[in-house]
Structure 1
Amino acid sequence: MSSQMDRLTFIKALGIGGAVFATGLPGFAETLGSPAQAKASDFYFVQLTDTHWGFEGAKANPDATGTLPKAIDAVNALDPQPDFVIFTGDLTHITTDPAQRRKRMAEFKAQAARLRAPQIRYLPGEHDAGDDHSEAFREAFGPSRYAFTHKGIHFIALDNVSQEGSILGEEQLRWFAAELDRVPKEAPLVIFTHRPLFDLYPDWDWTTTDGAKALDLMKAHRFVTVFYGHIHQEHHHTTGHIQHHAATSLIFPLPAPGSVPKRAPVPWDPEHPYRGLGFRQIHAQPKHVKEDQLALSEKALADSLKTAGTHA
């Protein structure tokens, strides 16, 4: 059995719950047992994405205004709480009305404020960017790109939706290069985006036009993981040594890339409500010096609701 499978089996044996995916990144956890086993530097964070607050469409989600609150309740029920929660774009559903866009963002922000986690971070999606290039987003949530370090892990959030053409842009790429220069080449590096940086399926706009330039800038860094949204489904991919993980949506799933002629929401299944919706936990142990596996625990919203005894 490979070391990858050994670690996956070990993680599942701990009874974390949800699907688990392990990806190579030193300093991240493979031992995810009880909180009593954790060191002071150990932590985890939660990724939520594509909530599309303001969406209407009973065929895709008859509980469009209830799904986000239920997801927030599920995250609030986690014990211990994550060190931070990040929303990786499309917080709100697109509208051409500037007043309506700001109204939706205010309503979304009020929902997110219920989260118990000590830090909440946000990225725009193209629905948030609208036709004002994320001006309303920045008014409500702050910068659309930023960098931070948390307990020894370096994080960089990129904005690949605010400029026309699904690009990062030369100015942002220069900023990104400067931020990367601050990070030691052997240090673990985590990138957040909304769109995939690689060409997943350009015909469905599942790409970043100049994403290859960002990937090229990261080649010198040995341990890089990218978390993104946009495609409304779990997806795992590697470009060279860089690993990419898409998370499930919190409004409706989309079909696998290229599996159908036209991209459209997967219809709501009344026999299996909330199927394909969920969020992700990422567990870290920054003080480990050996090559552990970054542990992703996928949380299906339907399972969380069953555990909590919550119904639509």
Structure 2
Amino acid sequence: MQQKSAKHIARRDFLKMAGIGGVVFASGLAGGRNALAAYQDDFYFVQLSDTHWGFEGAPNPDAKGTLPKAVAAVNSLAEQPDFIVFTGDLTHTTDDPVERRKRMQEFREMTSQLKVKKLYFMPGEHDASLDNGAAFQEFFGKTHYRFAHKGVNFIVVDNVSDPTASIGEAQLQWLKDELATLDKKQRLVVFTHRPLFDLAPQWDWATRDGAKAVELLMPFQNVTVFYGHIHQEHHHMTAHIPHHAAKSLIFPLPAPGSVPKRVPLAWDPAHPYQGLGFRDIEAEAAKPALEITELPVIKA
């Protein structure tokens, strides 16, 4: 098994010494390394979510500056990630198809300033539900797809292009077919925008047929789901499958069901960008679990 490089160790130590994040979750099946197919090499990737480019007004007085700051924060990481994934709501919704495309073009131009050029995009309902993902596909490609990286399989599931908040039978069949080609011991990471489980259906924090997708994933011994949509860090288990929601890069939302109405949390001038952030996810060859580190937009 390959040992961690000095550069890899330096990145983790840098995060700890800088005080800009902590490992908050070790995500994976506690079945032991021998029960699972190994990573080919250590690596890490970054997840950003819910940038809502085009949003203006309260509660974020820096709506046009937060995404550029996040890009700068990622570029300043001591070691650059292998790739970056954006889990939806790249832009804020608009009924105007011309404005929708303008926002997507601006978003693409800003993210092109990232040092890392291997970027993976998926839509949120703000990007795709009004036109079934047509504009998104013009700028970013397919809304659902699969890729592999250093022994880990990644699957992007689109649960937003259908305005009923469904994955749909055609895509579920695609998912079933893709999973059929994989060994049940292989490590699998799934990206969605909405949660696949019923977190808060009254707030649109669910996927109508998400349980069908989870059922297809159940036979896999080590599968982890990362999603966005709820604008906060959240961790949930369905049997042995962990689901991790990411913070937003525009405004935080209240805890699921904690208040009668889902409204953005107020901006705190004394603690600007509080509740906003992104994360790195680390895969080490010597460990069966993924390690998640939450990072702020601006260092405290």
My pick for the range that moved more, 265-274 or 13-22, is 13-22
**Structure 2 residue 224 is matched with structure 1 residue 225:** yes
Match of 1:83 in 2: 82
Kindly indicate whether the alpha-carbon contact (under 8 Å) linking 1:52 and 1:92 is maintained by their aligned counterparts in 2. Answer: yes
Aligned residue type for 2:295? K
Query: Which residue of the other structure, out of 15, 25, 28, is the alignment partner of 1:24?
Result: 28
Kindly indicate whether the alpha-carbon contact (under 8 Å) linking 2:73 and 2:298 is maintained by their aligned counterparts in 1. Answer: no
Instruction: Report the alpha carbon displacement of residue 154 of structure 1 after superposing the two structures with TM.
Output: 0.4
Residue pairs, 1:1-312, within 5 angstroms: 15=16, 17-20=20-23, 21-25=25-29, 41-57=41-57, 59-285=58-284, 287-288=285-286, 292-303=288-299, 306=300
Kindly indicate whether the alpha-carbon contact (under 8 Å) linking 2:199 and 2:205 is maintained by their aligned counterparts in 1. Answer: yes
Aligned-partner Cα distance in 2 for 1:219–1:276: 32
Q: Secondary structure at the match of 2:16?
A: coil
Instruction: Report the alpha carbon displacement of residue 208 of structure 1 after superposing the two structures with TM.
Output: 0.3
Kindly indicate whether the alpha-carbon contact (under 8 Å) linking 1:26 and 1:188 is maintained by their aligned counterparts in 2. Answer: no
Q: Secondary structure at the match of 1:302?
A: coil
Instruction: Report the alpha carbon displacement of residue 292 of structure 1 after superposing the two structures with TM.
Output: 3.2
Match of 1:3 in 2: none
Kindly indicate whether the alpha-carbon contact (under 8 Å) linking 2:231 and 2:248 is maintained by their aligned counterparts in 1. Answer: yes
Aligned residue type for 1:151? K
Instruction: Report the alpha carbon displacement of residue 300 of structure 1 after superposing the two structures with TM.
Output: 1.7
Kindly indicate whether the alpha-carbon contact (under 8 Å) linking 1:61 and 1:251 is maintained by their aligned counterparts in 2. Answer: yes
Aligned-partner Cα distance in 1 for 2:99–2:123: 16
Kindly indicate whether the alpha-carbon contact (under 8 Å) linking 2:40 and 2:151 is maintained by their aligned counterparts in 1. Answer: no
TM superposition score normalised by structure 2: 0.89
Aligned residue type for 1:297? T
Kindly indicate whether the alpha-carbon contact (under 8 Å) linking 1:25 and 1:188 is maintained by their aligned counterparts in 2. Answer: no
Aligned-partner Cα distance in 2 for 1:27–1:283: 18
Aligned residue type for 2:45? F
Instruction: Report the alpha carbon displacement of residue 28 of structure 1 after superposing the two structures with TM.
Output: 11
Say what the alpha-carbon RMSD is for the aligned residues.
2.1
Q: Where does structure 1 differ by over 6 angstroms across 4 or more consecutive aligned residues?
A: 11-14, 26-29
Aligned-partner Cα distance in 1 for 2:155–2:129: 23
Distance 1:244 1:109, change over 3 A: same
Aligned-partner Cα distance in 2 for 1:103–1:12: 40
**Count of paired positions:** 281
Sequence identity, in percent? 58
Instruction: Report the alpha carbon displacement of residue 130 of structure 1 after superposing the two structures with TM.
Output: 3.8
Q: Secondary structure at the match of 1:176?
A: helix
Instruction: Report the alpha carbon displacement of residue 209 of structure 1 after superposing the two structures with TM.
Output: 0.3
TM superposition score normalised by structure 1: 0.86
Ranges in structure 1 where 5+ consecutive residues have no aligned partner? 1-10, 30-38, 307-312
